[in-house]
């Protein structure tokens, strides 16, 4: 009995030593094998990082690639657009991701970092639109609102008698008598989420131009006015959008701001507000009629093509009609397809691996 | 003041005191009952949410293997049922036809995976089908073309973006990897430090520092270990993000103090007289330790280790920070590959927009609970069976 | 052609049979020789002695090569490392064998090595602490270049929107400056902690009293594991439960009483966290209550006190320092708990006293900042480390106080 215990413990110790050595090996192996010339293939698995908005679409395509071809399923991680670019632009080699997803266009500075760190070519792929829905309980009557009215409901300061005052509105009716008699209660994305960024860009920056007061008070900063009220009328709640959905089902007063996919998934019990006379529907978003939408992208490290098996195939699959086409599979999980000509253009960029020039981006 | 009166008030006081005694006893019972009641309510709620996920809707449909199917897999099923059949099944048809060329031109009836909405409808839950589609499904059901089959895929397949095809296999494998690394790193190191500190350490500044330090480590929030993993193991030493190695090391450091503290308690519980006896026979201190004290303390050590490990498996926060919340549908084949773990998988599913993931979240939780509770049961068994009171 | 990392791994694996051979050689060498002289120690120790002399130098060479490579001082080629390992292993073996004579006291040499290994193992925990401090401090310092410490600790507005916009790539944007006043986050943390303690402290303490004073041995056998099951439930599960079940329940209950509550109110995660902490409190208090000497109870009973009076007036006061320390440890656990609040509490930095409103906590913000959509070097991401730093200090202080209290307590009765 005792000798068995001793033997078992010895075996365990030996195993531990080995693991410890392997750990040390793995920790430092990276420093030994980083020169790209040494290995023809960098990895046998694609690594993708970036925006949490693109994450569901990206992982859907990744899964399709894994299930229908002999390539391994790519690893997709949701790091946020900025975090994605940070990892992506670190250089060329095993450690850096092959693709980064983004819910905004790459910045000039980010692209320059890429090229400064040894990449020769970054290719841009535009995949579609992300609509942002202002959703409410499906049993309510249609809610028609203009961008300006929406702006007045969420802004921290609103114009009043030629100056700006803290937002006094508690009821939609106070903003405009034509709006229904409902308490303003909006569950929206928190400051850290990409949806909030989009909301600020697409609603606040557009609507602020209609009010000269902001320019009078804030000068040239006015066009970037992005402060959202901090009281209970706007409740940031992003971590679990399903909770917002539940709340909307219960509370007929509330509105929720979230990605179009959540509205699509819950269309039996929620409906989107009609903004500037347009309902949020794939058609209206795609045509640009629905005002609160933005483009989604991913960026390919062209230097890795041919070195990471399946990379080209993944990209081609993503850009295919089957995925992002007007009747593609991603539409079912909330991606809004590009209009035909723009899709053709985007696809041409990718198939020819057109290098994105820093001069072309802001 | 008469004796009688005193006696009266004394009796009243005694009655009051005894009543309070009863009342207080009940308070303590209620406290236990509250905790137990919560546990029962909790298990029932989770179980109720989880059970439907162990059965999966299937449809009996006619599959025609035509030339077109290679390009458009959905042509294989009758058009009106196209949206009822899971995309998971359809997309694999071309591969199947490439493997079995003889299928071309034939048709066959087959039970196939139903799409999530059909599955939810069959289980009587909320779905997104319109009235016409509901009628069609009900028609199928009435003619015996639908069934709820045991959902083995849930255990044998990895994560998927298609709810009806999502399983926990990859996460379970990842969890096992992480667990093994955590065990192999934290158990020997933990036991070794405990032995040293308890039996051999001279009482100097260094050992005092180590002792205070271990107690502090035990109290540090787990999320801070995540920050450590991110800064040291990923950014400084360059281990692959989201690999089970990073997760395992991080959790091992987190579990270490727990193991050290419980091992020290187990070693301390072995009576001094036994040691003295062995020393008197001429054994060296290490021989006493290795041959006498350690075997006697082993049940206590194992109990502490199992509880520490069970805690580590259920831990999520530090793993979120070292990047294990990724979408990883394939089981990793080595500890250096990206992998996910069961709690992270549960977290991902819990925040997915597709409602059919709800029951899978609960099912994943149930599986995790079963594993953890059996580990705890094992620990309790070991303690009751082997622990000696000296 | 082996690549370098495979080569090294096989060199390590190759060490295992070599160690076995060393052991066997050492043991055989130490068999009683023909002259009839016996060796000082059992043969096994000579075997282990040989193992030490083979394994340690080889691992030393390996470690040295890795350290040199890791700090980019000199890249030792893999073949050189492997060859070096082989050479020192064989040299070590030869040396060890030559030392094995009947007079040689292998046991002392082996035990000395064991002691060194044990010491190294116990230093790992110190290294962990150093690692934690190092990994947090640099980023925290960087953060405090953007935001003053005073503003961070006393500001009442947590409004990092502008910092986020910078991170998202629009430095020019922004009307109001980003504000990193952490008070609302700590208010949320302490609100939820307070709710949790209001649940956990009475229930946990009463349960401990039940188990140690009133329960029959059967009831104890059942109730102890029941509580331990509560401790075994992972926090992500508690979080899911709080978000999906308890949150809506609280809303319904509040609305039926005429209050309005939001779904991610502070009460639901607080209650659930309280349940999570019950077993923690009960097992710690159970221990200290059991540690109160039986003679105290007997003395109290002998003068006619009822059991409850004994408990409330004698046992609990005697156990008080231990209970206080249990309380402090429970608080530090609640403060650092992450998953429950990430899943069930909101993101709204809200300085309020109403638990039905949504509040956010320090840990939620750490997770949010690290997995959100922003650039890594923005003050918002760095704020995660600053928050972590404060969190670390809070838990450390509470832990040190509780250790101190326990030490006082022990001096009383032991």
What mean pLDDT do residues A129-153 have?
89
pLDDT band at A99 (very low <50, low <70, confident <90, very high): very high
Å from A212 to nearest chain B CA? 40
Tell if the CB–CB gap between B220 and C336 is shorter than 8 Å.
yes
- C-alpha C409/C-alpha C414 separation (Å) is 9
How many Å lie between the alpha carbon of B133 and the closest alpha carbon of chain A?
A: 14
Residue A184 predicted with pLDDT over 60: yes
d(CA C319, CA A314): 65
Contact B155, B318 (CB under 8 A): no
Does C160 reside within a domain?
A: no
Which pLDDT belongs to residue A190? 75
Which pLDDT belongs to residue C170?
45
Interface of C with A in 108-167 (CB under 8 A): 157, 159-162, 164-165, 167
Name which of A327, A326, A323, A332 is nearest A350 in CA terms.
A323
Residue C379 covered by a domain: yes
What pLDDT score was predicted for residue C32? 66
Question: Domain for residue C125, yes or no?
Answer: no
C146-151 average pLDDT score: 85
Interchain contact, A78 vs B329, CB within 8 Å: no
Between C9, C251, C372, which is nearest A22 by CB?
A: C9
Is residue C387 a part of any domain in this protein? yes
Paired residues of A128 in beta bridges: A296
In a domain, C143, yes or no: no
Return the minimum-mean-pLDDT range out of C14-18, C274-278, C297-301, C334-338: C14-18
Bridge partners, residue A132, by sequence: A259
**C273 interaction partners in chain B (CB closer than 8 Å):** none
Q: What span, in angstroms and rounded, lies between the C-alpha atoms of B328 and B334?
A: 14
Closest CA to C335 of C251, C282, C397, C262: C397
> For chain A, which chains pass the contact test of at least 3 CB pairs under 8 Å?
B, C
Of A79-88, A234-243, C150-159, give the lowest mean pLDDT range: A234-243
Q: Are residues C106 and C225 in the same domain?
A: no
C95-107 burial, b at 16+ Cβ within 10 Å, e below that, comes to: ebbebbeeebebb
A182-186, C178-182, C397-401: the lowest-pLDDT one: C178-182
The domain defined by B169-386 folds into: MetI-like fold (1.10.3720)
Nearest CA in chain B to A245: B353
Tell the burial category of A18 from Cβ atoms under 10 Å away from its Cβ (0-12, 13-18, 19+): middle
| Binary contact (B239, A26; C-beta < 8 A) | yes
Residue B274 neighbours by CB distance under 10 Å: 14
Q: Nearest residue of C to residue A51 by CA position? A: C373
Residues 96-115 of A with CB under 8 A from C: 103-104, 107, 110
Alpha carbons A45 and A51: distance in angstroms, whole number: 20
To probe the interface with B, which of C236, C284, C337, C383 has the most B CB atoms within 10 Å?
Answer: C236
Q: Residues C192, C96: one domain?
A: no
Residue C89 pLDDT greater than 50, yes or no: yes
> What distance lies between CA B164 and its chain's CA centroid?
21
Distance CA C323, CA C209 (A): 12
Residue A77 touches partner C, C-beta closer than 8 Å: no
Q: What is the CATH number of the domain that holds C371?
A: 1.10.3720.10
Phi and psi torsions of C78, nearest 5°: -60, -40
Are C81 and C217 contained in the same domain? Answer: no
Nearest to A56 among B87, B126, B161 (CB): B161
The conformational region for residue C233 under phi > 0 = left, psi -120 to 50 = alpha, else beta, is: beta
Place of tokens 């320059």: A112
- pLDDT over 80 at A59, yes or no: yes
A320: alpha, beta or left? (left if phi > 0; alpha if psi -120 to 50):
beta
Which residues are paired to A160 by β-bridges?
Answer: A163
Is residue C78 domain-shared with residue C201, that is, in the same domain?
no
Average pLDDT over residues A201-216: 85
Kindly report the backbone phi and psi dihedral angles of residue C23, in degrees, each rounded to the nearest multiple of 5, phi listed first.
Answer: -60, -50
Percent residues over pLDDT 70 in chain B: 98
Residue C10 CA to residue C4 CA, distance in Å, equals 10
- Domain residue ranges of chain B, discontinuous segments joined by +: 52-151, 169-386
Q: Please indicate whether, in this complex, the C-beta atoms of B24 and C385 are within 8 angstroms of each other.
A: no
- The structure tokens listed for B20 are 């309070």
3-state secondary structure of C160: coil
DSSP-assigned beta bridge partners for residue A75? A47
3-class state of residue A330 by DSSP:
helix
The tokens describing B295, both together, are: 């075997």
Q: How far is C-alpha C215 from the chain's CA centre?
A: 33
Per the rule left: phi > 0, alpha: psi between -120 and 50, beta: everything else, C26 is alpha
A255-259 and A186-188 as β-strands: parallel, antiparallel, unpaired? parallel
**For residue B329, which residues of chain A lie inside 8 Å, CB to CB?**
62-63, 66, 73
Dihedral angle, C-alpha C5, C10, C11, C12, nearest 10 °? 90
Task: Give A229-277 pLDDT, tens digit per residue.
Answer: 877 788 777 655 666 787 788 778 889 888 887 787 788 888 889 998 8
Is C229 in the same domain as C108? Answer: no
Q: Are C356 and C261 in contact (CB under 8 A)?
A: yes
Task: Say if residues C143 and C369 touch (Cβ distance below 8 Å).
Answer: no
Reported ipTM? 0.88
Question: Chain centroid to CA A24: how far?
Answer: 36
- C263 to chain A: nearest residue by CA? A247
Question: What average pLDDT is seen over chain A?
Answer: 81
Q: Give the start-end residues of each E strand in A192-269.
A: 234-236, 255-259
* A171-177 LR contacts (CB < 8 Å, sep 24+): A175/A149, A176/A149
Task: Give the domain extent around C96.
Answer: 4-118
- Determine, yes or no, domain membership for C164: no
- Report the C-alpha gap between C103 and C38 in whole angstroms: 9
**C43 in a structural domain:** yes
Provide the number of structural domains found in chain C.
2
Residues 6+ apart with CB under 8 A from B187: A12, A16, B259, B305
Q: What is the mean pLDDT of residues A119-148?
A: 89
The answer to whether position C301 is within a domain reads yes
Q: Residue B173's pLDDT is what?
A: 92
- What pLDDT, on a 0 to 100 scale, did the predictor assign at position A30? 46
What is the least distance, in Å, from the CA of B55 to any CA of chain A? 22
pLDDT at C370 over 70: yes
| Mean pLDDT, range C303-311, rounded to an integer | 91
Q: Which helix (H) or strand (E) holds A32?
A: helix A2-32
Cβ atoms of A347 and B366 within 8 Å: the answer is: no
Smallest Cα distance from C257 to chain B, Å: 22
CB < 8 Å to A197, chain C: 164-165, 168, 373
Chain B CB within 8 Å of residue C142 CB: no
Mean pLDDT for chain C?
A: 83
List the domains of chain A with CATH numbers. Answer: 41-129+294-360 (3.40.190.10), 131-292 (3.40.190.10)
Query: Mean pLDDT, to the nearest integer, of C136-149?
Result: 86
Q: Cβ atoms within 10 A of the Cβ of B389, count?
A: 4
**Among C67, C99, C118, where does a domain finish?**
C118
Question: Domain ends where: C95, C118, C141?
Answer: C118
pLDDT at C174 over 70: no
Considering only CB atoms, C210 lies closest to which of B29, B195, B260, namely: B29
- Contact: B373, C391; criterion CB under 8 Å: no
The whole-number pLDDT of residue B42 equals: 93
| Per-residue pLDDT band at A205 (split at 50, 70, 90) | confident
> Quick one: pLDDT at residue A26?
59
Last residue of a domain, one of C82, C101, C118: C118
Task: Quote the tokens at residue A202.
Answer: 């697409």
| pLDDT of A127 strictly over 50 | yes
Which residues of chain B register pLDDT less than 50?
none
H-run or E-run covering C180: strand C179-180
Residues A237, C346: C-beta atoms closer than 8 Å: yes
């Amino acid at each position: 009995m005792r000798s068995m215990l001793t033997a078992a413990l010895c075996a365990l110790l030996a195993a531990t030593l080995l693991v410890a050595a392997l750990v040390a090996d793995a920790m430092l192996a990276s420093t030994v094998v980083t020169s790209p010339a040494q290995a023809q293939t960098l990895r046998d698995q694609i690594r993708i990082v970036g925006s949490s908005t693109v994450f569901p679409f990206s992982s859907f395509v990744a899964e399709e690639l894994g299930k229908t071809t002999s390539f391994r399923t790519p690893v997709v991680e949701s790091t946020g657009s900025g975090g994605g670019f940070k990892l992506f632009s670190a250089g060329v080699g095993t450690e850096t991701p092959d693709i980064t997803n983004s819910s905004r266009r790459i910045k000039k500075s980010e692209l320059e970092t890429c090229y400064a760190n040894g990449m020769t070519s970054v290719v841009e792929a535009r995949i579609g639109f992300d609509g942002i829905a202002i959703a409410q309980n499906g049993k309510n009557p249609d809610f028609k609102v203009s961008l300006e009215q929406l702006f007045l409901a969420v802004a921290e300061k609103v114009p009043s008698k030629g100056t700006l005052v803290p937002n006094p509105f508690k009821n939609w009716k106070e903003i405009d008598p034509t709006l229904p008699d409902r308490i303003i209660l909006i569950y929206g994305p928190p400051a850290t989420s990409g949806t909030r960024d989009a909301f600020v860009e697409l609603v606040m920056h557009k609507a602020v131009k209609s009010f000269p007061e902001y320019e009078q008070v804030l000068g040239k900063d006015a066009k970037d006015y992005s402060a959202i009220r901090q009281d209970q009328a706007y409740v940031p709640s992003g971590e679990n959008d399903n909770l917002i959905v539940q709340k909307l089902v219960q509370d007929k007063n509330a509105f929720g701001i979230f990605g179009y996919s959540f509205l699509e998934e819950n269309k039996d019990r929620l409906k989107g507000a009609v903004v500037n006379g347009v309902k949020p529907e794939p058609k209206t978003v795609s045509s640009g009629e629905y005002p609160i939408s933005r483009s989604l992208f991913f960026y390919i490290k062209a230097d890795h093509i041919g070195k990471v098996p399946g990379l080209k195939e993944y990209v081609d699959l993503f850009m295919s009609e089957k995925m992002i086409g007007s009747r593609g599979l991603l539409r079912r999980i909330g991606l809004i397809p590009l209009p035909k000509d723009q899709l053709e253009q985007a696809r041409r960029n990718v198939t020819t691996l057109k290098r994105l020039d820093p001069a072309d981006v802001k | 003041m008469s004796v009688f009166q005193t006696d009266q008030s004394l009796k009243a006081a005694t009655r009051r005191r005894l009543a309070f005694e009863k009342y207080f006893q009940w308070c303590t019972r209620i406290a236990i009952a509250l905790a137990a009641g919560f546990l029962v309510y909790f298990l029932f709620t989770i179980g109720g949410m989880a059970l439907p996920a162990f059965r999966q809707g299937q449809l009996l449909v006619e599959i025609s293997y035509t030339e077109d199917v290679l390009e458009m897999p959905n042509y294989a099923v009758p058009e009106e049922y196209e949206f009822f059949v899971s995309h998971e099944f359809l997309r694999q048809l071309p591969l199947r036809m490439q493997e079995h060329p003889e299928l071309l031109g034939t048709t066959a009836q087959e039970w196939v995976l139903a799409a999530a909405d059909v599955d939810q409808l069959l289980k009587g839950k909320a779905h997104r089908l319109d009235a016409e589609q509901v009628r069609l499904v009900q028609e199928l059901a009435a003619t015996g073309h639908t069934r709820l089959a045991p959902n083995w895929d849930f255990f044998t397949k990895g994560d998927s973006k298609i709810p009806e095809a999502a399983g926990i296999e990859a996460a379970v494998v990842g969890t096992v990897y992480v667990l093994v690394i955590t065990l192999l790193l934290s158990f020997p190191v933990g036991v070794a430090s405990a032995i040293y500190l308890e039996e051999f350490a001279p009482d100097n500044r260094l050992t005092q520092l180590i002792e205070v330090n271990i107690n502090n480590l035990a109290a540090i929030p787990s999320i801070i270990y995540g920050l450590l993993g991110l800064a040291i193991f990923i950014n400084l030493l360059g281990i692959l993000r989201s690999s089970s190695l990073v997760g395992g090391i991080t959790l091992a450091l987190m579990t270490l103090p727990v193991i050290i503290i419980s091992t020290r308690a187990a070693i301390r519980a072995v009576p001094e007289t036994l040691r003295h006896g062995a020393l008197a026979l001429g054994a060296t201190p290490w021989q006493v330790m290795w041959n006498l004290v350690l075997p006697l303390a082993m049940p206590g050590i194992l109990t502490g280790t199992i509880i520490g490990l069970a805690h580590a498996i259920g831990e999520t926060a530090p793993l979120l920070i070292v990047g294990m919340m990724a979408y990883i549908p394939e089981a990793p084949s080595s500890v250096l590959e990206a992998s996910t773990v069961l709690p992270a998988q549960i977290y991902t599913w819990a925040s997915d927009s597709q409602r059919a993931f709800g029951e899978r979240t609960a099912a994943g939780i149930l599986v995790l609970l079963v594993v953890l509770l059996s580990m705890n049961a094992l620990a309790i068994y070991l303690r009751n069976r082997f622990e000696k009171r000296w | 052609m082996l690549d370098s990392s495979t080569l090294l791994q096989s060199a390590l694996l190759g060490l295992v049979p070599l160690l076995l051979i060393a052991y066997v050689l050492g043991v055989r060498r130490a068999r009683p020789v023909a002259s009839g002289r016996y060796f000082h120690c059992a043969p096994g120790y000579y075997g282990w002695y040989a193992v030490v002399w083979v394994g340690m130098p080889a691992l030393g060479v390996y470690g040295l090569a890795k350290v040199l490579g890791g700090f980019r001082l000199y890249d030792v080629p893999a073949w050189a490392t492997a060859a070096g390992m082989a050479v020192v292993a064989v040299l070590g073996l030869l040396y060890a064998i030559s030392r094995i004579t009947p007079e040689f006291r292998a046991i002392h040499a082996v035990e000395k090595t064991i002691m060194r290994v044990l010491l190294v193992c116990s230093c790992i925990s110190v290294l962990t602490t150093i690692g934690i401090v190092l990994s947090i401090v640099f980023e925290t310092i960087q953060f405090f270049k953007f935001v003053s410490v005073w503003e961070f600790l006393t500001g009442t507005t947590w409004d990092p929107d502008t910092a986020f916009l910078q991170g998202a790539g629009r430095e020019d944007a922004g009307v109001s400056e980003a504000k990193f006043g952490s008070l609302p986050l700590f208010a949320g943390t302490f609100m939820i902690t307070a709710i949790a303690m209001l649940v956990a402290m009475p229930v946990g303490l009463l349960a401990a009293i039940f188990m140690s004073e009133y329960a029959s041995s059967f009831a104890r056998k059942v109730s102890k594991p029941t509580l331990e099951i509560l401790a075994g439930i992972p926090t992500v599960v508690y979080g899911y439960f709080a978000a999906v079940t308890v949150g809506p329940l609280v809303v319904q209950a509040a609305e039926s009483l005429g209050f309005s509550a939001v779904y991610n109110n502070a009460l639901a995660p607080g209650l659930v966290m309280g349940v999570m902490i019950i077993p923690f409190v009960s097992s710690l208090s159970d221990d200290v209550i059991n540690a109160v000497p039986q003679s105290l109870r007997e003395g109290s009973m002998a003068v006619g006190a009822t059991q409850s009076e004994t408990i409330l007036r004698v046992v609990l006061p005697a156990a008080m320092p231990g209970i206080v320390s249990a309380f402090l440890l429970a608080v530090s656990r609640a403060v650092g708990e992450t998953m429950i609040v990430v899943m069930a509490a909101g993101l709204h930095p809200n300085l309020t006293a109403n638990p039905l409103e949504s509040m956010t906590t320090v840990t939620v913000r750490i997770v949010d900042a690290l997995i959100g959509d922003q650039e890594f070097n923005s003050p918002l991401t760095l704020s995660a480390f600053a928050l972590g730093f404060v969190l670390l200090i809070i838990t450390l202080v509470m832990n040190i106080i509780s250790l101190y209290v326990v030490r006082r307590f022990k001096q009383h009765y032991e």
